[in-house]
A and B are shown apart, each in its own frame.
Chain A
Amino acid sequence: MAADVRLMKTAAELALADAFAAVKSTLPGDAAVAAQRTAAFETFASVGLPHRRVESWRYTDLRALLREAPPLASAAGPEALARSLAACPMLAGMEARRIYVVNGAFVSDISDLANLEPGVSISSLATALGAADPLVAHLGQTVASSDAALALNTAFMGDGVVIALAEGATLSRPLHLVFVTTEATATAAYTRSLLVMGKGASAQVIESHEGPAGAAYQVNTALEVVVGEGASLERVKITAEGNDALHISTLLARVADGAKLANANFTLGGAIIRNQLLVQLAGEGIDASLSGVSLLAGKQHSDTLLAVEHIAPNCQSREQFRTVVDDTARDIFQGRISVRQSAQKTDARMMSRALLLSDTAESDNKPELEIFADDVQCGHGCTTGSLDQQLKFYMMSRGIPEKEAEALLIQAFVGEVIDAIGHEGVRAALTDATRNWLIERK
């Protein structure tokens, strides 16, 4: 049955098609890139916006949630740029190299590009595409995916950050990619970034996303990462979009022999948030950690899709996800560990836990194992429930007020993930952010 061919296209799908036709000739890149864009849009057009019959989107019906396709965001004015400098206050005190992407455009004027460490280059994607930089050959080549939201990103990608670390290069301080939306009207921004790490390179990268409250803007962002042999990457992504925003993010990471990858997602803000993490452990002896914390309230809807693929032998992966859901918010976690026949001696463990704080909060959890190699140790666990009433009572009997007891328990719950973050400053900032979230909680 050709069930995918639908006669009716939604208004948003039609608007996206119109928008692509209108802007494709103005988007950066040579003929090859243009062809890539067209192919990606065709992929999107053949299936449309993901809906609940698409297994990986079964809990987030984008066809119903994405009603409009707003115009592409335009460049920010001087006043907006000045405001952008104050973005991500939770990391304000932290020593970092800050790179700004405002309204979907890399802004070199306010970015810290001076005195780059040896072997390190940072540039804008638009520039790299325009100059046919050889690095852009990595685009779309890290991890294969036919995801429709990613296809939209490929079709529309306007700008982003291109980072390369040569063999042995090390960042002396964390790199903070600050993504900001400044416009108060509904806009759309499609950013695509690239991080290519040579043999033995090492980096800490923080990515933050934010924008104004009350604006129904849309962000579709993607990062492709190549972690070279023996390289080490710690990435923390903070999603703190405005309360009406729709945020879709895709991480595509390909990891080589003996490398180390630690990725943590911290999700606070946004109306609809979708984080896709597609990770391929392509070399032997990799140590990978994928983790996440979501703090959701109001009507927030957060969906994390994780697919870790073990391809080579002797790799270890740890997946740890914690989510706290209040009010009528909904959290979704779909995690899959796949172990190919070639990936003997894989050691993979995934744990996802949801804490529901209100009668109307919701949690959907789908931890999946797909195993084709016999000499493996794989497992997953998952729990859903409310706060442990006995623990709460115990704390209250020692004189701790109820609200505080709850806060302590919640902090301990998410602390299991936050405490594992390597960078001390980030760890402290996320701990504080959790505390603030708890204070603001009614």
Chain B
Amino acid sequence: MKPAPFEYYAPTSVEEALATLQTLGYDGKVLAGGQSLIPAMNFRMARPAALVDLNKVNELFYIKPTSDGGLAIGTMTRDSVVEKDPLVAERFPIVPYVVKHIAHPQIRNRGTFGGAIAHADPAAQIPALSVALNARFLVRKQGGERWVNAEDFFMGPFMTVLEPEEMLAEVVLPPMAKGSGASYQQVSRQKGGYAQAAVISVVVVDENKRCKDARVVLFSVGETPILSQTAPKILVGNVPTAEAIAEVAEKISKEEVDPGTDIHGTAEYRRHLVKVLVRRGLTEAFERAK
């Protein structure tokens, strides 16, 4: 058999799952969609002592509207469900567009929205999307819970602020502000493949077309999703000109990303991609915001 042996727990409620995680401590690992974890176990790169499978915890599968115009997404909601949900498309048109770029249909039928966030692959779309949309995460453990902002959640490649006994239970997307526009840009070698560089841009403009907010999140070019500090500094308060956007793109590519070199591309090439993709992304996001 491919994976190393492990103890298997299949709780049917959140309470039972949290109690199991509490007992197991560092030996326990949550199994969500398994589309990253099980391949890693097949290679024996991951050898968890025990898996706590959430696939039978029905109360973790949902998409609910929040009264302020946002959404609450249960951690086990499958990517394909998010991709096809009419309410998601209506309130956050960028979300299904980004989700469509995750791997392949068979993987999206199984992979989960919360699982991708907790896994924290630096090349994954959903962690970056959650930062771009200013999401908040409900983190639960036995007898307690806390809320964590997306931008404070990711600590490094495959590392988050989650403690072993904790579980990401829900993702809350606050409503898109009036006058907002979003764009997703990526370059990958083939459809469904990891992006060599990618950027999600969410901007807000006022009635005079001045920029009120600009959240530009890069991924696959650093250890975590990178929320640009440069973009709001240059853009907020001004009408975004082509020159200003080009300046942002230039600065981000030089100062804010830290891409690596591998067989598919050099760091220098990826910086070039960042520059081009940020320019295209911000241009498109501002066009959509009008």
- Same complex for A and B? Answer no
